[in-house]
Structures are given as structure tokens and as C-alpha cells.
């Protein structure tokens, strides 16, 4: 009788610990969605856009006629990166 009561408390303790860990995980995932912390994703983890870009690159190997889509996407990215840059000085002007 005493042995079975101890086992039931042990089982209850394991379930309680599992529940607390699951709740903590859910809390951390919620905090990650609000971008307060990095929980399962790290800062360097590729996002869906880069994974999609890699898939598009593979598609160009299988279907070369689709390469123009990848070229256009790269050009758009370069143009978007250059939009905020300060204008370059003329070729003959002195540098500071």
C-alpha cells in the first residue's frame, strides 16, 4: 500500500513537471512571436524568404526557362538596397 502511494506521487510529479515545461515553452513561443526573445529560432536562422529563394534556385536547375524570375528578384533586391543610400559624389570631386 505504501509503495503504490509513493509511485502514484512520483507519476503525478512527472506529469506536473511535464505540464510546467510545456507551459513555459508556450510562453516563450508567445514572447518570440512578439519578438521579445529568440527561443526556437536563432538570429542567424534562415527565414522563409531565404528558404523560398533557395527553392527557386533549385528550380532554375531543373527548369532553366524559369531563370528570368530569379534574375528579376535579384535586381529588385539590389534596387531596394540602393534606395536608401546617399548619392555618390561626381567622379572629379574631392573626397572628404
Q: Whole-angstrom Cα distance, residue 10 to residue 59?
A: 54
50-75 tens-digit pLDDT: 677 777 777 777 777 767 776 777 77
Those residues whose C-beta lies under 8 Å from the C-beta of residue 29, and which sit 6 or more positions away, are 39, 40
Considering the chain, what percentage of its residues have pLDDT values greater than 70?
61
Contact indicator for 56, 69 with CB cutoff of 8 Å = yes
CB 53 within 8 A of CB 73: yes
Q: Note if the pTM is more than 0.75.
A: no
Euclidean distance between the first and final Cα of the chain, in Å? Answer: 88
pLDDT of residue 57: 73
In the chain, where the domains are located: 1-40, 47-84
Per-residue pLDDT tens digits for 18-35: 999 999 999 999 998 888
Contacting residues for 59 by C-beta, under 8 A, at least 6 apart:
66
Amino acid at each position: 500500500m505504501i509503495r503504490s502511494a509513493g509511485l502514484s506521487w512520483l507519476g503525478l510529479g512527472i506529469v506536473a513537471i511535464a505540464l510546467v515545461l510545456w507551459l513555459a515553452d508556450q510562453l516563450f513561443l508567445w514572447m518570440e512571436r512578439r519578438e521579445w526573445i529568440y527561443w526556437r529560432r536563432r538570429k542567424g536562422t534562415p527565414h522563409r524568404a531565404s528558404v523560398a529563394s533557395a527553392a527557386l534556385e533549385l528550380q532554375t536547375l531543373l527548369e532553366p526557362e524559369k531563370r528570368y524570375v530569379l534574375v528579376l528578384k535579384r535586381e529588385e533586391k539590389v534596387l531596394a538596397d540602393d534606395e536608401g543610400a546617399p548619392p555618390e559624389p561626381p567622379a572629379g570631386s574631392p573626397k572628404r
